[in-house]
Amino acid sequence: MDNKQTLQQKIYSNLELHKTQFKSLINTLNSRLQESSNRRNILVLASTFLMISIGIYFFSVFHNDLNTINTNQKSVWVMSFITIATCITVFKVLLFLFMLYQYVKYKPVASVTNEELPTCTIIVPAYNEGKQVWDTLMSLVDSDYPKHKLELLAIDDGSKDDTWEWMLKAKEQLGDRLVILQQPENQGKRHALYRGFNLGTGDIFVTVDSDSIVTSNTLRNLVSPFVKNEDCGAVAGNIRVLNNKKEIFPKMLDVSFVLSFEFVRSAESNLNSVLCTPGALAAYRKTAVYNCLPEWINQTFMGKPSDIGEDRAMTNMILKQGKHVLFQRNAVAYTNVPEEYTGLYKMFIRWGRSNVRENLEMTKYIFKNFRKGDKSGIRLLFMSQFLEMIMSYPFLIVMALFIATHPLLFLGSTLASILILSSFSVVFYSYHYKISESIWAYTYSILYTFGLFWITPYAIATAGKRGWLTRDLTPKALT
């Protein structure tokens, strides 16, 4: 008996030893991976500043060539383009100053009391998210929001992984607080949301991507504007990057998101005209959704069903109703973004095609009397976006000619411009968050200028194409 106990003790002792050694190995590997990631990040940032320094040097050496170009190439075409470019530059500078003024005036709506909060239906569409959908649902149920006013719907859009199993586990834990639904086949995010809109009983619909995490006060801050402003039809949340700890692309996108949301959408919100409520976190008044739901679900472009840009389309249709669309800086969601170049450019193509389609839709109402009050602000926002579209191809042609005739001057002037223009993003981000993270704005600008410049022209040329690109969806329009 003693020998048996001694043997068991030895086995347990060896198991504990191996367990300790395994944990030590894992910690060592994690530490080395972190060190490798840090070295890579330092190398990328060092390369960024080296490129900018080289660019400034080239510009200082070859900037006199600009005078030569102006002197020797005074053709009607060249002078016309210079004039147009100058006008666009002046317009952009004035628009930036206008947006800066609107940003300074912006203030998020303060949270209302529990008694004032409306009933709310949260819709979480999911496709191949695995355990991430569990994390999303758990963050939502932990919200500081009256339980009896909250309805949570999770919809599995025909996932091919274990997403449904994680929804079942969440249902088992949360009981009646969660309703889970399963689409008979993969039909696309728009159709999953459509099912939620038809089943939801709340006065406010909140849509949350299944790879997003919300903070405890996000929901109450997100829906408070509907209580304070009866003309409010939709509210955009403030999106940050969740997976930005190691990979380079998420670090760059996090800085970009801060400028896009906390500066641009703040300014747009002060004009009651946020142009896009993000799929990761947005809220809509039920009546505004129902006013455009048939048009939204059956939306087509060039005769084909629209299976992308459901968030921008819904925003556009609500703006068309004359409703206000606002932004809540204090309603934050953290979402995952692509970590590789392939996923990144596919995401931008999808966004680009959606922008092309919805900008064309805006031309149908933007210069009409579509809502009460001043409409000059939203018209300026539209003109800025439309200008980028129509100038994308002329810009590409001139850029190609510039590279062919003065490659070093092109490189120098471009990198010098990046240094100047991106410095605002760096200052803005560092003022609100960490200076050490803000410098990724320079790297992102270089990436976008040299690695993603083709997105807008390509999106325009292929605006009629269907497909989510990163998820291979083939939704069908309802009849």
The domain ranges of the chain are 105-112+211-385
Residue 110 is classified by DSSP as P
- pLDDT for the residue 4: 54
- pLDDT for the residue 478: 37
- pLDDT for the residue 113: 96
Instruction: Please determine, for residue 100, whether its predicted confidence score (pLDDT) is greater than 50.
Output: yes
pLDDT in tens, 220-245: 999 999 999 999 999 999 999 999 98
User: What confidence category does residue 17 fall into, taking pLDDT thresholds of 50, 70 and 90?
Assistant: low
- pLDDT for the residue 475: 36
Mean pLDDT computed over 418-424: 89
pLDDT in tens, 136-173: 999 999 999 999 999 999 999 999 999 999 999 999 99
- pLDDT for the residue 29: 47
Separation between Cα atoms, residue 444 and residue 50, nearest integer Å = 15
Distances (CA, A) of 476 to 94, 294, 304, 356, 467: 44, 14, 10, 21, 11
Mean pLDDT computed over 83-99: 84
pTM for the whole structure: 0.85
- pLDDT for the residue 473: 38
More confident residue, 474 or 166: 166
pLDDT in tens, 351-372: 999 999 999 999 999 999 999 9
- pLDDT for the residue 58: 64
Cα dihedral 355/358/359/365 (nearest 10): -160
The mean pLDDT value of the chain amounts to 86
Classify residue 208 as left (phi > 0), alpha (psi -120 to 50) or beta.
beta
Instruction: Please determine, for residue 33, whether its predicted confidence score (pLDDT) is greater than 50.
Output: no
Task: Express as a percent the part of the chain with pLDDT over 90.
Answer: 66
Instruction: Please determine, for residue 479, whether its predicted confidence score (pLDDT) is greater than 50.
Output: no
Distances (CA, A) of 242 to 227, 248, 250, 355: 30, 13, 8, 24
- pLDDT for the residue 468: 67
- CA-nearest of 166, 208, 220 to 334 is 208
Mean pLDDT computed over 406-419: 84
Mean pLDDT computed over 397-410: 83
Instruction: Please determine, for residue 350, whether its predicted confidence score (pLDDT) is greater than 90.
Output: yes
Tokens (6 digits) for 333: 């969601």
Instruction: Please determine, for residue 182, whether its predicted confidence score (pLDDT) is greater than 70.
Output: yes
Separation between Cα atoms, residue 215 and residue 65, nearest integer Å = 54
Instruction: Please determine, for residue 114, whether its predicted confidence score (pLDDT) is greater than 60.
Output: yes
